[in-house]
Amino acid sequence: MIKSLKFNGKYIIMGLCLSVIVLLSMYKSTTLDFINESIMYLPLFAIIFSIYMNLELYEYRMEELYFVSNILKWRTFVIRIINVIAIELTIIILNVILYVTLFDIGFDYKFEIGIYFVTTIVSFIFFTGVTTLVCEIIKKKSGSLCIMSLFWIYWIINVTNDSILNPFIFVAVPSNYEGTIIMQLIISCVLFILSFLIERRGPLWPEISLKRYFSRTKQE
């Protein structure tokens, strides 16, 4: 329990540091600027935190022991995802508190705070879903971080692209984003399910599958 609190506390502090950097380095003349920048840059925390939560056991070479000894794999997986999302939600809440405190600026309208929470949470969950799937396939922190960084950079460059896969859809089309974020939540759920299905096959499944594939290719 204490170890878990220390682990989560470490990443909450990291998320707060990222929040402060974003708040102090970006131009925010309006609350809309704050919302847009939160949607685009805070998910970096979701990427890093998700990678370390999903691949923590691989750091200590305990993934096989965990797989064999863990009977209720689905429950462990769900608890891990809930923990990740809970910490991310904490960062989202602390971020808005810091914004109001540092800049002494409140939200002009009640719906703005709603937009902030909905769009930022969906962006976090979407990145978490993609990151979790990448982690289950790659099984390497460095590889997962590289792929997710490229994914994030791609959408930062193409932030105005009106695509269902754009995690910054509110920035692209602030007047018509509701349908897209609902679809992104559905996609995220599908990604979580796929991640669990891969995880339950064992930590060596991707490697074994690739070896079998290349072996068959050579024989043909």
What is the total count of domains within the chain? 1
Which span out of 107-111, 161-165, 197-201 was modeled with the highest average pLDDT? 161-165
For residue 78, being part of any structural domain is answered with yes
For residue 2, being part of any structural domain is answered with no
| Nearby residues of 52 by Cβ (< 8 Å), 6 or more positions away | 11, 141
∠ CA 121-11-6, rounded to 5°: 130
Q: What is the mean pLDDT of the chain?
A: 77
Query: pLDDT digits over 114-130, tens only?
Result: 888 899 999 999 999 99
Backbone torsions φ then ψ of 111, nearest 5 degrees: -70, -20
- Going by C-alpha positions, the residue among 174, 152, 171, 149 that lies closest to residue 160 is 171
Give the model's pLDDT for residue 102: 76
For residue 72, being part of any structural domain is answered with yes
For residue 189, being part of any structural domain is answered with yes
Q: Which domain range does residue 98 map to?
A: 9-218
For residue 3, being part of any structural domain is answered with no
Residue 195 scores a pLDDT above 60: yes
Comparing 180 with 205, the larger pLDDT belongs to 180
Give the model's pLDDT for residue 152: 94
Give the model's pLDDT for residue 189: 94
- Give the C-alpha separation, 43 to 78, whole Å: 20
Of 36-40, 136-140, 147-151, which gets the smallest average pLDDT?
Answer: 136-140
- Give the C-alpha separation, 92 to 117, whole Å: 7
- Going by C-alpha positions, the residue among 143, 127, 135, 147 that lies closest to residue 196 is 135
Which span out of 50-59, 78-87, 156-165 was modeled with the highest average pLDDT? 156-165
For residue 4, being part of any structural domain is answered with no
Query: pLDDT digits over 148-182, tens only?
Result: 999 999 999 999 888 899 999 888 888 888 889 99
For residue 113, being part of any structural domain is answered with yes
For residue 1, being part of any structural domain is answered with no
Give the model's pLDDT for residue 13: 78
